[in-house]
Structure 1
Amino acid sequence: MRKIFKWGAILVGLGFAMMLLTRLPALGLEEASFCGRCHSMQVQVDTYMHSPHREVANCGDCHDPHGLVTGGAYAAYTGTRDLYRVVTNTIPREIRTTELSKRVLQDNCLRCHQDIMKEIGDTSRDQGKHCFHCHQEIVHEK
């Protein structure tokens, strides 16, 4: 029983360490150059590269939660899902945001633009629209 617990703890530790590695800037896993390696993302990378956000934010700044553990876990989950889709050739024709990713995007809009958002508030509350509904073309074409 101790052996099973020991190996379980080792696997959990390794998994946690791998998850945290997604957050290391030196690996570049949040940069457009990494995200653009998949042909299905080329339009998104091209539009990002011509947006004002390219000067101040990378892909992970908008698309991942900013906590070390929450961001690492989310990046590991979405990265694994995307890798699976590429390997199995099941990439959706149109890339759409999930409800969870909509919340992540909205939270990051609020975090980066908190100066103006203090006056406006969270636009998605009470069945309102997320920031990117009106401002999507600032970074990516519809």
Structure 2
Amino acid sequence: MLSRISKKNLLVAAGVFVVGSLIGVGLFTFVYAKGISYLGNDPATCANCHVMEGHYDAWLAGSHANVATCNDCHAPHDNIVSKYYVKADNGFWHGLKFTTGQYPENIEIRDSNRAVTNEACLYCHSEFTSDMRMTAGSDQISCTRCHSDVGHRKR
């Protein structure tokens, strides 16, 4: 029979092992998934996941390839905190869905991301959109309602 000190040491060792394993698996996954690349602004990062390759290729062939990166359209422009909050939120959901395979073949933008994208359109094109804030009733019409193929064509 183990003494009280030995049982306590065994529990501490088991706890350290579990925590260390979680940290190790987390670091391995971060490195394997090229996690550091997502902190930057390189559009090629979006193609790290094979499911996004078509979107990346469409962006390269699209009208914004020489003037805007993925983050210019899909991350907020108001401040760095909201930019990285949206990037972290998207990263979590993209990682979860791509890892589990639980995503539709034709990837659809979430409403929250559509709002970010619409604000990015209005931000970059403000000199000629400031008087064009179109509404339908009390709802603002999204730029992508009419210009859905601008950043990258639909697949």
Gaps of 5+ in 2: 1-35
| Cα distance between partner residues in 2 of 1:125 and 1:58 | 33
1:78: how far off? 0.6
- CA apart distance, 1:100: 0.8
CA contact (8 A) 1:64 1:74 kept: yes
Partner of 1:45: 56
Q: CA deviation at 1:27?
A: 6.2
* TM-score normalised by the chain length of structure 1: 0.73
**Paired position in structure 2 for 1:108:** 120
The one-letter amino acid paired with 1:118 is: S
Q: Secondary structure at the match of 1:69?
A: helix
Give the AA of the match of 1:50: A
- The one-letter amino acid paired with 2:151 is V
Aligned to 1:138: 150
1:47-94 CA-partner distances (Å, limit 9, x unpaired): 100122111111011011122001111101111111112222223222
Provide structure 1 residue ranges, at least 5 long, that are not aligned to the other structure.
1-23
Aligned to 1:99: 111
| Distance 1:34-1:93 versus aligned 2 partners, 3 A rule | same
The residue type paired with residue 63 of structure 1 is: H
C-alpha displacement of 1:28 = 6.2
Q: Higher Cα Rg: structure 1 or 2? A: 2
Match of 2:133 among 114, 121, 129: 121
Return the structure number with greater helix share.
Answer: 1
Q: Aligned in 2, Cα 1:86/1:69: closer, same or farther, shift over 3 Å?
A: same
**AA partner of residue 125 (structure 2):** H
Moved more, 123-132 or 34-43: 123-132
Q: Which amino acid aligns with 1:114?
A: S
CA distance in 2 between counterparts of 1:134 and 1:103 reads 15
Check if 1:84 corresponds to 2:96: yes
Q: Percent identity?
A: 26
* 2:43 aligned partner: 32
State how far apart, in whole Å, the 2-side matches of 1:123 and 1:61 are. 24
